[in-house]
């Protein structure tokens, strides 16, 4: 073997190893639908800032940042576990219908996916310890909802309700430090529950809308999904009226309602187009638009209750979602 040949071979092997590593990383990101996790981050950030704004104090201390980072890590684990376990429980169906998914394609073994999914779930619960007893209780609620949805409920009529519950609990996880004097449940006051519940209702409607996105959908089912999303948006627009200390709001209740209403119209117009022509491409465009709007909704709530800069920070989570979404499908 010549000197040239002996130096070329390791170089080629190194290139192949690097390429294989990148492909493996991409497969795991695809399995976790990594772009969507930024909507969960936005939920946590919004919930955390809503609770902080209740005190009338704007700005994060070092202790606040530590807890916030722990909650972001918690939702990363819980949300990503849900995505992974979705494919674990769906493996036989994916082998028949979606052979380009990482497990049926052979990029990731079923055993590796199972280990990752359950590990992420445990990681998410452990990270919630930073937020105290309420944080752990709500993290368990998220985990149970995720597993029940992926395992049993996904193919049942109540699947959208279960999905909405997952999102509601995720927002409450961000709010888990709440200790309101006007608490209704576990330290949460009415406006906390209205915010979390309204976005949960919006997500339930989105799930109904997306149920048959891979084929020509029923106009009635699509229209029903849109109506449920409208109900969620209405609830969100009304939450400022239930804030115990309205003087802490940065926008008055009428301006806040107008903001949510305009955002709702901009979000749902693609869905209305899909109702008129329910082909997969238009339905999927409506679904992706609504997923992106979750970050806009969270940023709008932050703008209503907190600092404009923090609202921009929340909205900036859309940037990595859009970048990743060009390579990895959101649905």
- Written as one string, the DSSP assignment of 225-271 is HHHHHHHHHHHHHHGGGG-S-GGG-SS-HHHHHHHHHHHHHHHHHHH
- In angstroms, the first-to-last Cα distance of the chain is 51
Report pLDDT for 58: 79
pLDDT of residue 180: 78
> Which has the higher per-residue pLDDT, 261 or 93?
261
Q: What number is the average pLDDT over the span 71-88?
A: 97
Q: In the predicted model, what is the mean pLDDT of residues 202-230?
A: 89
Q: With 50 as the cut, is the pLDDT of residue 78 above it?
A: yes
Q: Is the pLDDT of residue 22 over 80?
A: no
Greatest mean pLDDT among 64-78, 239-253, 315-329 lies in 64-78
d(CA 78, CA 196): 17
Segment 285-309, tens digit of pLDDT: 999 899 999 999 999 999 999 989 9
- Residue 327: predicted pLDDT: 80
Segment 123-146 shows an average pLDDT of: 97
* Rounded-to-integer distance, Cα 315 and Cα 150, Å: 29
The average confidence (pLDDT) of the chain is 90
> pLDDT value at position 55?
84
Q: How far is CA 59 from the centre of its chain?
A: 24
Contacts (Cβ under 8 Å, ≥6 apart) of 182: 189, 190, 244
Fold of 35-325: Tetracycline Repressor; domain 2 (1.10.357)
Contacts for 150 with CB less than 8 Å, ≥ 6 apart:
82, 85, 86, 88, 89, 90
pLDDT band, very low/low/confident/very high, at 233 (cuts 50, 70, 90): very high
Where do we find the tokens 């209503």?
Answer: 304
Report the C-alpha gap between 44 and 298 in whole angstroms: 9
Report the C-alpha gap between 311 and 299 in whole angstroms: 5
pLDDT at 9 > cutoff 60: no
pLDDT at 11 over 70: no
- In terms of average pLDDT, the best of 55-59, 178-182, 216-220, 282-286 is 282-286
Token pair 């709530």 in the structure block, residue: 301
Mean pLDDT for 123-137 is 97
Res 123: pLDDT: 98
Q: How sure is the predictor about 5, in pLDDT bands with cuts at 50, 70 and 90?
A: very low
């Amino acid at each position: 073997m010549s000197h040239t040949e002996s130096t070329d071979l390791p170089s080629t092997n190194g290139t192949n190893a690097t390429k294989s590593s990148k492909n493996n990383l991409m497969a795991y990101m695809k399995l976790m639908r990594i772009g969507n996790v930024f909507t969960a981050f936005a939920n946590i950030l919004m919930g955390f800032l809503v609770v902080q704004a209740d005190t009338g104090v704007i700005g994060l201390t070092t202790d606040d940042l530590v807890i916030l980072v722990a909650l972001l890590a918690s939702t990363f684990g819980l949300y990503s576990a849900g995505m992974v376990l979705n494919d674990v429980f769906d493996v036989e169906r994916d082998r028949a219908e979606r052979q380009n998914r990482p497990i049926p394609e052979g990029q990731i073994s079923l055993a590796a996916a199972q280990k990752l999914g359950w590990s992420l779930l445990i990681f998410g619960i452990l990270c919630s310890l930073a937020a105290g007893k309420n944080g752990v209780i709500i993290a368990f609620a998220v985990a149970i909802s995720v597993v029940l949805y992926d395992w049993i409920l996904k193919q049942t009529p109540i699947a959208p309700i279960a999905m909405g519950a997952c999102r509601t609990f995720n927002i409450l996880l961000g709010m888990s430090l709440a200790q309101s004097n006007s608490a209704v449940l576990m330290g949460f006051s009415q406006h906390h529950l209205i915010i979390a519940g309204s976005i949960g209702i919006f997500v339930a409607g989105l799930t109904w809308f997306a149920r048959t996105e891979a084929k020509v959908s029923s106009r009635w089912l699509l229209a029903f999904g849109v109506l449920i999303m409208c109900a969620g948006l209405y609830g969100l627009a009304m939450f400022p009226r239930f804030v115990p200390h309205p003087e802490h709001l940065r926008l008055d209740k009428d301006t806040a309602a107008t903001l949510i209403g305009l955002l709702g119209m901009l979000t749902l117009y693609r869905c209305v187009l899909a109702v008129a022509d329910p082909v997969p491409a238009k339905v999927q465009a409506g679904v992706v638009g609504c997923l992106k709007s979750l970050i806009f909704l969270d940023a709008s709530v932050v703008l209503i209750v907190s600092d404009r800069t923090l609202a921009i920070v929340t909205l900036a989570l859309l940037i990595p979602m859009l970048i990743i979404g060009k390579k990895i499908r959101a649905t």
